[in-house]
Amino acid sequence: MADLFSLRGETALVTGGTRGIGQAVAIGLAEAGADVLLVQRSAESTETKKAVEALGRKAYIYVADLADPAAVAAIVPRALADGHTIRILVNCAGIQIRHAPEAFPDADYRAVMGVNADAVFALCRDAGAHMLGLAPSATTGRRGSIVNFASLLSFQGGLNVPAYAASKGAVVQLTKSFANSWTARGVTVNAVAPGYIATDMNEALINDTDRAASITARIPAGRWGTPDDFKGSVVYLASRAGAYVSGHTLVVDGGWMGR
């Protein structure tokens, strides 16, 4: 059974790994045996790199601003030029900007879509093209695996976050589209949709005492999620255990959507 969830010998490219869910996922992948390439806005944050290395795995930092299309386009070629074979891609980085819809600035809409949707598309395309050229892995049984991070707002509209909702809806559709083309060729593509998670991105909700209480009351699990709740989900989708799962969005929300 342990071999089903092993990622020994694999290398994962992870965005958003300096904190929150992305950091927990990067560490979880390393705990399962993978080396990790961390895409960060700066090289100053080394906490995740050190945590991965403490597990006996290798970690490398690639500096890139996901809001810059040219920087995004350079990520996979740089990693390949350094001799890495990317078997796993996790697109976890994201931004959220809140405004009333009637006053939502064009620039903020484009910024959110650029990081949350455009960068996901480009990295899926580039990493996926690389994976398709690989022989199947003895560890996972396929050429590669992509896990994109969606949201409950892939399904719901939210309040004062039209750009974020649009971007996360796009993530789910991109996931399905890539999966339709690549699953038969040995690359699975899935998404994870977090529920209400206690991270910096949800700080405004957490600080709104009444709203936070109403959210908690609706969650059957009786609590907000934590970043560590996503280690198993991503390892499952990236490992042999999830080999027959593709084009799927796995909701990890403590039961919120079923309420």
Residues marked active site are found at 164
Query: What radius of gyration do the chain's Cα atoms show?
Result: 18
Q: How far is CA 128 from CA 10, 80, 236, in A?
A: 15, 13, 19
Phi-psi region of 253 (alpha: psi -120 to 50; beta: other; left: phi over 0): alpha
Residues in the chain: 259
Q: Read off the tokens for 75.
A: 């990520």
Name which of 46, 49, 45 is nearest 37 in CA terms. Answer: 49
What's the angle, vertex CA 256, arms to CA 175 and CA 176, rounded to 5? 10
Residue type, 47: E
Helices (H), 133-230: 162-182, 203-207, 209-218
């695996």: which residue's tokens?
145
